[in-house]
Amino acid sequence: MTEMDSPKLHPDRVAVLFNGDYALSSPKNGEVRTLQVRTQHQRSGFCPGRRVVKLLLVEDAPEDFYSWEGFAFCEDVGIHVWRSKQGEETRSLHDKLAAILWGIEVRGEASKWFELGYRVEARYRCIA
């Protein structure tokens, strides 16, 4: 994580990003990207019990499993973008989306991303 992304938290506070759907809006063109944070089922063939961050690729079919692309794990200390989704020379879209989501949801208006005009709206949160 870079200085721009890393949350400045009190040592006793644990930051948690809740499971749910999040709409990230860009100040440049108003484009909205939808991200999802979900805990994998314990019987899942892929990382059971881990929390995965996914990007909605097909806005018209959010209920379709194949409309979502997983790209990171969500932990209590940050979002860790998978190596295959990271940028080599510059930040990838996935790197940037993870930084915006974590920065604004954890730091709120104190986030550099918030200051730059990005916004995050929690559209749905679930307990599981």
Which phi and psi (to 5°) does residue 100 adopt? -65, -50
Residue-level pLDDT at 15: 53
Return the CA Rg of the chain.
14
H helix or E strand, kind and range, residue 23: strand 20-25
pLDDT for res 127: 56
Give per-10-residue mean pLDDT for the chain (128 aa). 44 69 92 94 90 90 82 94 94 96 93 95 69
CB proximity list for 31: less than 8 A, separation 6 or greater: 25
The residue type of 68 is W
pTM: 0.80
Rounded distance between C-alpha atoms, residue 17 and residue 45, angstroms: 24
Question: What ranges do the domains of the chain cover?
Answer: 20-125
107 and 4 Cβ atoms separated by less than 8 Å: no
- The backbone torsions φ and ψ at residue 53, rounded to the nearest 5 degrees and listed phi first, read -100, 130
